[in-house]
Chains A and B, each alone.
Chain A
């Protein structure tokens, strides 16, 4: 850590001389499919003077089991996440639905086990979705990113309804130079991802994502942004299949100025 940032943290946190530690819950999709989202999250958190830790014993938050009604396996995964993130001040997640899992679902899993229930609640209390954390908790100013173009925003359902994420990404995007936000009609309507739903009920899922992509095309935006990789993979997958032009990025990538490379589902640039 640079001396300069240490000093600014010392000045910022007054009483305590250690910076706040943030455990990044990477999410399995960002980990495997789009690591850049996690790198962007790290960079944003560091620019907000947080000390970022990435516990090694993490993988998935367990939504596939949880949403399939498999409590026993969900409990196993929850215990692991709770343990891995026990010694950080905050847990930040670049996904509304995974953040909701840690925050609102884990505590419901331990009704018969007080000790774990308490630990789950402790994790829940310190868990934040990334944009909410940046905007509300650390009030990140001075985002140094530029992106010339018209963007539209898809509000992923769980973040929107369970964590009330709506203003935060929009406010943060205002700091990105050159970016013009054009609201998406029905931005609050589900894109049809729904995790395993997209495979099990693919006909319905396709219908919904097609509607979403029609609105995206109608918006005439150059880019679609969102805060949940699941939805973005779904949207990008459909746009690419139909050869539509709109490019898809996770909001963290935009805020961290990491939009020079290929967008989600786009070809790698020839070297």
Chain B
């Protein structure tokens, strides 16, 4: 086990180093960071009751999680009533094969996709490509990362790690063969070019796959929130619409939806509302002018149900707004890919070990300063930093941490619990450090502290500890 974690550690630290040295990534992240933070703050300040709505949002999600089976059954009933189909997938593999079957049965060749993190979680694109489908991402950010052969680095802004110049190059490379030979560099022009390339795909797609921000039990509807309207085209143009969602996405009613929507966009992008909020509740009815002929919902468990009733249940409240990523200093420094799986930032560091196995990502809960900013901004009050600490405890108990570090902690505790002896022992490094520093006030190197002194000086400790001074020089303290 410790072997696994040591390999992982090297891998994680390597990814971190690569990210920190990636000039483009650093430029893109620096630009994105303050934008998200400032906009959220503005939106929050403009809505005095924002915090009350957050409480209500948390309560709604808690209520659902305590009655998840009831709401899921109700939801399924309604979907069927509306003429749709519900499929239950225990894990990613099962979900992929269900979706591949639906695509094959409908004779599909081209599949368009709206943004869906849950489909990333299932590795759906390679699975569909393996059965001969052409998969086209229609969310601009997802489209960019697809062209680049990457995965999203942010749960709501998949290409946040790319600079405009990189996007220009990508588009030029991939769109020239399609006749777009001009090299466009401006934001607007890039968006328009992508739109016009994607438009043809929308029309020719046989199956449209979207995620869902919410599933409404009372009506059997799924709700998609986007800023590009691509979700609408993906949902309504193709013959078949497949919705993929985690089982925790269900909510009781439209009333609850209005509460959750009020915190979602504000937390995510600082908008009052996203540009498009679309509600779909099944296949086209005879009186409808448009819409898909068939409507399927694939509900994914993939480890979620085992979080119910446990220490991490609150993580299932997550509405995937991305605020915790936007406010995380570590995420801001290393970007999403360094986390190693599709869910990055604080929510990812909590989720990844739960969904992929505790020994799959030993570093993630530790690579955090516990500054608590994520917890502060989470619209549904998920105590993210507390859950990360919980993970650390669990790792310690499962002995996933190195034997050396556990031994050091025990030895150190032994010493700390013997204060007089501790003071005597500590006097040695204090004296030595003072000798070596020769009054310079700082050390450029300390044993076992290269992690610190490679990039920072170490302020020299006092010659004599406070407690020793207090009890020896100051009379009458004894």
A and B held together in a complex: yes
The range of chain B's interface size is 35 or more
User: Of A121-129, A146-154, A175-183, A199-207, which binds chain B?
Assistant: A199-207
Question: Interface of chain A, helix or strand or loop or mixed?
Answer: helix
A93 to chain B, nearest CB (A): 13
A132 to chain B, nearest CB (A): 17
Most buried by B among A64, A203, A208: A203
Tell me the chain B residues, 419-468 only, with Cβ under 8 Å from chain A: 419-420, 422-423, 426, 430, 439-442, 449-452, 454-462, 464-467
Whether A218 sits at the interface, judged by CB under 8 Å, is no
User: Of B110-118, B272-280, B312-320, B365-373, which binds chain A?
Assistant: B365-373
B 244-256 binary contact with A (CB < 8 Å = 1; else 0)? 0000000000000
Whether A114 sits at the interface, judged by CB under 8 Å, is no
Residues of chain A within 8 A of B442, CB atoms compared: 237, 240, 265, 267
Whether A168 sits at the interface, judged by CB under 8 Å, is no
User: Of A2-10, A133-141, A189-197, which binds chain B?
Assistant: A189-197
In the complex with contacts A59-B419, A207-B20, A157-B467 CB distance below 8 A: no
Per the bound structure, the CA–CA distance linking A193 and B439 in Å amounts to: 25
In the complex with contacts A32-B465, A77-B417, A204-B439 CB distance below 8 A: no
Tell me the chain A residues, 206-241 only, with Cβ under 8 Å from chain B: 206-209, 211, 233-234, 236-238, 240-241
Whether B154 sits at the interface, judged by CB under 8 Å, is no
Tell me the chain A residues, 33-66 only, with Cβ under 8 Å from chain B: 33-36, 38-39, 54, 56-60, 62, 64-66
Whether B89 sits at the interface, judged by CB under 8 Å, is no
Residues of chain B within 8 A of A207, CB atoms compared: 20, 333
Whether A158 sits at the interface, judged by CB under 8 Å, is yes
Per the bound structure, the CA–CA distance linking A63 and B309 in Å amounts to: 29
Q: Are A80 and B392 in contact (CB under 8 A)?
A: no
Tell me the chain B residues, 380-435 only, with Cβ under 8 Å from chain A: 389, 391-397, 401, 405-406, 409-410, 412-413, 416-417, 419-420, 422-423, 426, 430
Tell me the chain B residues, 321-368 only, with Cβ under 8 Å from chain A: 329-330, 333-334, 366-368
Tell me the chain A residues, 53-98 only, with Cβ under 8 Å from chain B: 54, 56-60, 62, 64-71, 73, 76-77, 80
Partner of A32, one of B16, B397, B426, B452: B426
A residues adjacent to B (C-beta < 8 A): 26, 28, 30-36, 38-39, 54, 56-60, 62, 64-71, 73, 76-77, 80, 157-158, 161-162, 188-190, 192-194, 197-209, 211, 233-234, 236-238, 240-241, 262, 264-268, 270
Most buried by A among B17, B330, B413, B450: B413
Per the bound structure, the CA–CA distance linking A54 and B460 in Å amounts to: 24
- When C-beta atoms are compared, the residue in chain B nearest to A35 turns out to be B466
Per the bound structure, the CA–CA distance linking A237 and B443 in Å amounts to: 9
A12 to chain B, nearest CB (A): 23
User: Of B134-142, B299-307, B469-477, which binds chain A?
Assistant: B469-477
Whether B13 sits at the interface, judged by CB under 8 Å, is yes
Whether B376 sits at the interface, judged by CB under 8 Å, is yes
Q: Are A206 and B455 in contact (CB under 8 A)?
A: yes
Q: Are B372 and A157 in contact (CB under 8 A)?
A: yes
In the complex with contacts A203-B20, A266-B441, A30-B372 CB distance below 8 A: no
Q: Are B456 and A206 in contact (CB under 8 A)?
A: yes
Partner of B393, one of A69, A211, A238: A69
A270 to chain B, nearest CB (A): 8
Q: Are B451 and A200 in contact (CB under 8 A)?
A: yes
- When C-beta atoms are compared, the residue in chain A nearest to B462 turns out to be A35
Whether B54 sits at the interface, judged by CB under 8 Å, is no
Between-chain CB contacts (< 8 Å), 27 pairs: A33-B460, A35-B466, A36-B462, A54-B470, A57-B419, A59-B423, A65-B409, A66-B389, A67-B392, A76-B417, A157-B372, A161-B372, A161-B376, A188-B373, A189-B373, A201-B367, A203-B13, A203-B16, A203-B17, A206-B454, A208-B333, A211-B329, A237-B457, A238-B455, A241-B456, A265-B459, A265-B460
Most buried by B among A26, A33, A34: A33
Q: Are B417 and A26 in contact (CB under 8 A)?
A: no
A205 to chain B, nearest CB (A): 8
Residues of chain A within 8 A of B393, CB atoms compared: 69-71
B residues adjacent to A (C-beta < 8 A): 13, 16-17, 20, 329-330, 333-334, 366-373, 375-376, 389, 391-397, 401, 405-406, 409-410, 412-413, 416-417, 419-420, 422-423, 426, 430, 439-442, 449-452, 454-462, 464-467, 469-471, 477
Q: Are A56 and B471 in contact (CB under 8 A)?
A: yes
In the complex with contacts A26-B466, A32-B465, A68-B409, A204-B333 CB distance below 8 A: yes
Per the bound structure, the CA–CA distance linking A187 and B166 in Å amounts to: 32
Q: Are B410 and A73 in contact (CB under 8 A)?
A: yes
Per the bound structure, the CA–CA distance linking A208 and B368 in Å amounts to: 12
A246 to chain B, nearest CB (A): 14
Residues of chain A within 8 A of B334, CB atoms compared: 204
Residues of chain B within 8 A of A67, CB atoms compared: 370, 389, 392
Q: Are B419 and A73 in contact (CB under 8 A)?
A: no
- When C-beta atoms are compared, the residue in chain B nearest to A269 turns out to be B439
Q: Are A202 and B454 in contact (CB under 8 A)?
A: yes
The 6 closest A-B pairs by CB, nearest first: A194-B369, A69-B392, A237-B456, A35-B466, A202-B451, A157-B371
A100 to chain B, nearest CB (A): 10
